[in-house]
């Protein structure tokens, strides 16, 4: 009996993970065939004192406040900023990202509930927000578009 429950639980999680169409574009979908929703852009400051790890493929892994963000040069943008542009950016603390993501999910899922009559499940990955890590080291300021991979509570 326990093995059947475990099997169906794993099967359910498997299908849910594929139903959440994930891509790193400007948009996301909460269910297959659903409308594209613009991903809110969130800026996070990396003051270069945090753990930084580079891989052989040119990927950069940012570990900021128990969260892991990865920059992949093949699919992400990397842009240098001037000091004036840097001063205009509103940064969010990493601790608030989960709340921001949840609030965005609630807003969109309630809209879908009112229009379509069902509430889609929350994504199991962090695909709702578009996270831009801003790295500042001396006078060198670079923005990295990243994937939010991991949350450690």
Cβ atoms of 50 and 61 closer than 8 Å: no
Q: List pLDDT tens digits, range 39-52.
A: 999 999 987 655 67
pLDDT band of residue 7 (cuts 50, 70, 90) is low
Q: What confidence category does residue 90 fall into, taking pLDDT thresholds of 50, 70 and 90?
A: very high
pLDDT for residue 111 is more than 50: yes
Q: Is the pLDDT of residue 95 over 60?
A: yes
Q: In this structure, are residues 77 and 145 in contact, taking their beta carbons and an 8 Å threshold? A: yes
- For the cut 90, the answer to whether the pLDDT of residue 1 exceeds it is no
CA distance 79 to 105: 28
* Average of per-residue pLDDT across 1-25: 56
Closest CA to 59 of 137, 138, 149, 130: 149
Give residue 23's pLDDT. Answer: 47
Domain ranges, ordered by start, for the chain: 2-151
Q: 76 near 24, Cβ under 8 Å?
A: yes
d(CA 124, CA 141) in angstroms, rounded, equals 32
């Amino acid at each position: 009996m326990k093995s059947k429950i475990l099997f169906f639980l794993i099967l359910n999680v498997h299908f849910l993970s594929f139903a959440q169409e994930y891509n790193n574009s400007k948009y996301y979908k909460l269910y297959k065939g659903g409308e594209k929703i613009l991903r809110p852009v969130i800026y996070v400051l990396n003051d270069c004192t945090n753990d930084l790890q580079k891989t052989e493929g040119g990927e950069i892994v940012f570990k900021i406040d128990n969260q892991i963000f990865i920059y992949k040069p093949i699919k992400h943008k990397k842009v240098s900023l001037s000091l004036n542009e840097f001063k205009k950016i509103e940064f969010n603390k990493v601790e608030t990202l989960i709340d921001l993501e949840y609030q965005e999910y609630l807003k969109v899922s309630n809209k879908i509930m009112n229009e379509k009559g069902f509430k889609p499940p929350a994504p199991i990955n962090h695909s709702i927000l578009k996270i831009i890590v801003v790295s500042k080291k001396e006078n060198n300021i670079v923005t990295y578009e990243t994937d939010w991979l991991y949350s450690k509570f």
